[in-house]
Amino acid sequence: MKKTILITGGAGFIGSHVIRRFVTRYPEYSIVNLDLLTYAGNLENLKDVDHLPNYHFVKGDIRDAAFVESLFETYQFDGVLHLAAESHVDRSITNPLEFIQTNILGTAVLLNSARKFWKDSPEGKRFYHISTDEVYGSLGEEGYFTEETAYDPRSPYSASKASSDHLVRAYFHTYHLPVVLSNCSNNYGPNHFPEKLIPLSINNIKNNKPIPIYGKGENVRDWLYVEDHASAIDLIFHQGKEGETYNIGGNNEWTNIALIKKLCEVMDTALGRPAGTSEQLITYVKDRAGHDLRYAIDSSKLQRELGWTPSVQFEQGIVKTVDWYLKNEDWLNNVLSGEYEKYYSDQYEKR
């Protein structure tokens, strides 16, 4: 069936994988990528698909209500997949207002346009909000986040995402806007911006720079290969039940230190270095403020109700990821620009 779909944040890490999946699997859809191209947005992520006739890029800001409304007017969207956000926890600690503006106000602007344009014909429409497991707070050594876990965000980033989730549900209950939501665990894979733990460490190992581990490295994250997140998003967009939330996770918990040791092993092999070489770069640094101890997702609802399972095992995914970064030096060099150097020096060298 023909559809015109707005994907926000499509030039970012996860958004670019979602765009690739949609423009190639659904030639009958017209896909509009709305992205402001902040430091995290990079059109190079899409260079293999940007020639396709069903792909359109629009540079713009989700906070700009008049602009977003004019896009809805022009394209008459049938669906929205909303990924645009400020996404890095450390940046939210330094600059919370930017996160509040983009993640809360930006989401409200999109919801409001969808409400206005869909109010007389909500049939077949869908507003899909892509969110994070961080809204649930921090776990102890046991237990999992389910869709019923009470929200307890603890960083400006997670509080802004929690707030946007609440707004999406409020528009469902108040205005019957046809929404669906998902909350996913940590993604990894190609095109991940090198401010995040895995790509930052790959880049530092490659350049023989210290690998900064916050605190004691005992914090736990549940890692999912980014294409598996994109496959879950595809399924939820098409088959998720209106008004429902689905948790997405890799069932793949690692302490940061164990993860980095594994990465060092993979990098030593890939770079032809003697085993144990890269591990020597591990450096413990001052902990992140309010650092959540553990995230772990129970994704059984998504598996049971929609039949989703992750397809990439971590052992495979981490090798594929390292391989991609080593083969795409130009991509990496292009994003390690002036802005990145300043960020790196403020975040790590002045700690």
Q: Which residues here bind ligand DAU, judged by CB under 6 A?
A: 87-89, 132-134, 185-186, 196-197, 200, 212-214, 219, 221, 256, 288, 295
User: Which two tokens mark 71?
Assistant: 């896009």
The binder of 154, among ligand NAD, ligand DAU, none, by C-beta within 5 to 8 A per type, is: none
Of 196 and 262, CB closest to ligand DAU: 196
268 is catalytic: no
Question: Length of the chain in residues, anyone?
Answer: 351
The binder of 193, among ligand NAD, ligand DAU, none, by C-beta within 5 to 8 A per type, is: ligand NAD
Contact 100, 156 (CB under 8 A): yes
Pick the piece of the chain touching ligand NAD (CB under 6 A) from 33-41, 50-58, 209-217, 306-314. 33-41
The binder of 214, among ligand NAD, ligand DAU, none, by C-beta within 5 to 8 A per type, is: ligand DAU
Judged by CB under 6 A, the number of residues near ligand NAD is 29
The binder of 256, among ligand DAU, ligand NAD, none, by C-beta within 5 to 8 A per type, is: ligand DAU
CA distance 257 to 244: 35
134 is catalytic: yes
Q: How far is the CB of 87 from ligand DAU (least distance, A)?
A: 4
Contact 271, 329 (CB under 8 A): no
Q: How far is the CB of 73 from ligand DAU (least distance, A)?
A: 31
- The correct pick among 31, 130, 197, 232 for binding ligand NAD (CB under 6 A) is 130
Please list the alpha-helical segments (H only) found in the chain: 13-25, 65-75, 89-94, 96-99, 106-118, 156-175, 197-206, 226-239, 256-271, 300-306, 314-327, 329-335, 338-344
184 lines the binding site for ligand NAD (CB under 6 A)? yes
Of 125 and 154, CB closest to ligand DAU: 154
190 lines the binding site for ligand NAD (CB under 6 A)? no
User: Which two tokens mark 91?
Assistant: 């940046």
- Residue 251 has a CB neighbour count (10 Å cut-off) of 18
Residue least distant from ligand DAU (Cβ): 132
Residue 196 φ/ψ, nearest 5 degrees: -90, 155
Of 78 and 90, CB closest to ligand DAU: 90
Rounded to 5 degrees, what angle do the CA atoms 196, 225, 227 make? 115
Contact 114, 177 (CB under 8 A): yes
**Catalytic residue selected from 29, 157, 188, 344:** 157
Strands 220-225 and 253-255: antiparallel
Residue least distant from ligand NAD (Cβ): 12
Q: How far is the CB of 118 from ligand DAU (least distance, A)?
A: 28
Q: Which residues of 71-106 are buried (b: 16+ CB within 10 A; e: fewer)?
A: bbeebebbbbbbbbbbbbbbbbbeebeebbebbbbb
The binder of 126, among ligand DAU, ligand NAD, none, by C-beta within 5 to 8 A per type, is: none
- Using CA atoms, how far residue 159 sits from 84, 102, 297, in Å, is 16, 12, 18
Of 172 and 223, CB closest to ligand NAD: 223
Contact 342, 349 (CB under 8 A): no
Rounded to 5 degrees, what angle do the CA atoms 22, 317, 277 make? 145
The binder of 228, among ligand DAU, ligand NAD, none, by C-beta within 5 to 8 A per type, is: none
297 lines the binding site for ligand NAD (CB under 6 A)? no
CA distance 276 to 243: 50
- The correct pick among 112, 113, 138, 187 for binding ligand NAD (CB under 6 A) is 187
- Active-site residue numbers? 133-134, 157
**Site for ligand NAD, rule CB under 6 A:** 8-9, 11-15, 35-38, 40-41, 61-63, 83-85, 87, 102, 106, 130, 132, 161, 184, 186-187, 193
